[in-house]
Amino acid sequence: MEALKTPIAEILKLLLDRDWHEVYDAHCKYRLSAIEIYGSLNRLTTLGLIEVQDARMRISPSLDEVGASLINRMLKTSRPVKLREFVKTPRQRSGL
Amino acid sequence: MSIAAEHISQAALLDMMQMFDRQPWTRLLNVELVSLWSLCNTREQQVLLKDLILKFVVLDSSNEAMVCKQIDAQFKTWGLAPATTRVVAVADAGEVDGSTAGLQKLKNKITPFESWHARFYPSISASIAEISSGDSVVMFDDFVGTGDKIFKKFEWLSRIKEDLGIDFSIYCVSFAGMAFGIENIKNRCGIPVFSSIILSKGISEGMPVADVPRALEVMKEVEFQLGSRYKSKKIRDYSLGYGHSECLYFWMNDNCPNNVFPIFWWPTLRGGGIRQTLLQRAG
């Protein structure tokens, strides 16, 4: 999932208006590769977050609170692990 | 190098997603597929390549287990016994190829393997001293293309019979083979042949008859983009695959047969340059 996090976030951003979009838009707008789009759509449909029909995609119309919460989480970016050493932990910040 | 994917057409994107879905082995080949699609001058060429890729038969680990089981069953059907049988790879002496690799896979699948495992030999020359009158010799190759190689080895075994004055039965077994190649062996050698996977020609025997001439023409148009030579090989000898085999098969993580359409493995481009191929072939 980690390797697909950014492509998934890009696709979700595209779909937030809840309209149908061409799958191809994810390639044109974000230059995602075919395999990134394929992997992302597979995971998002498996989770029931989106639906894909005839090369078009949209947020699932039956999305519940859990789904909405998942999408919200996926849209957030995380700090790369390798940058952790440059960031103080809450304990360091508090000087304890 | 850009981190953005190379721009492709909508049709190409949908082709690739279809291939990823139906042929999981292509999922590691995004870049190679883009390169192959870029080599095509027309949509008709891309559609043909997609249709052929969708028809590929791949010997993956689950198919490997299945073919070994079927070969074990065939040994029982033929009534072969370990005490009087030698299973011999058709590799040339001192060489490593698909037949020796396949034999290693087969070694612990012919049951009871405690009795069989010492009956496997990496080449005919390695087995000669062990063969006695009344024995059975099973020639093994992982893949049968035109059948010419098996025929040559059969001739050699026949000469051994004469020269040493011993009489033994000869059989032929493979994981996979072209239907025409298997028929070729049966007709020329007159021996029992078993291939677990039998393949037909990708275009000539895999499409409606009316579409075949055009599809062959389209494939030759795409092949025109390939370099005329690679080391000592000439592309004209491999057009549509060696012996016009039109093969759509490979063993996962192994050397691709030269019988496969060269567009999938020929490494040079017309006008020079090396291409990123879908499949790899050494030698």
Domains, chain B:
10-57+201-264 (no CATH), 80-199 (3.40.50.2020)
pLDDT, tens digit, for every residue of B243-267? 999 999 999 999 999 999 999 999 9
Show residues of chain B in contact with A37, CB under 8 Å.
Answer: 13, 17
The number of CA neighbours under 13 Å toward the Cβ of B280 is: 7
Per-residue pLDDT averaged across B5-14, rounded?
A: 93
Question: Quick check: B33 pLDDT over 80?
Answer: yes
Q: Which residue has the higher pLDDT, B4 or B189?
A: B189
Residue of B178, B177, B157, B182 whose CA lies nearest to B168: B157
For chain A, say whether B226 makes contact (Cβ under 8 Å). Answer: no
pLDDT score at B68? 97
pLDDT, tens digit, for every residue of B152-193? 999 999 999 999 999 999 999 999 999 999 999 999 999 999
Cis amide leading into B112 (omega within 30): yes
Query: What is the C-alpha separation between B29 and A91, in angstroms, rounded?
Result: 46
Q: β-strand A56-59 against A50-53: which pairing, if any?
A: antiparallel
Q: Which residue has the higher pLDDT, A5 or B223?
A: B223
What domains does chain A contain, in order, with CATH numbers? 2-93 (1.10.10.10)
Question: Quick check: B1 pLDDT over 60?
Answer: no
pLDDT score at A93? 66
- A-facing residues of B in 11-50 (CB < 8 A) are 12-14, 16-17, 20-21, 27, 30, 33-34
Residue of A nearest to B9 (CA): A24
Q: What is the DSSP letter of B123?
A: S
Structure tokens at B86: 């030698």
pLDDT band, very low/low/confident/very high, at A94 (cuts 50, 70, 90) = confident
The CA-CA-CA angle for residues B91, B94, B98, to 5°, reads 35
Per-residue pLDDT averaged across A75-82, rounded?
A: 72
pLDDT score at A41? 97
Per-residue pLDDT averaged across B255-280, rounded?
A: 96
Please state, rounded to an integer, the average pLDDT across all residues of chain B: 95
- Could you tell me the pTM of the whole model? 0.91
From the list B10, B17, B34, the residue facing A38 with the nearest CB is B17
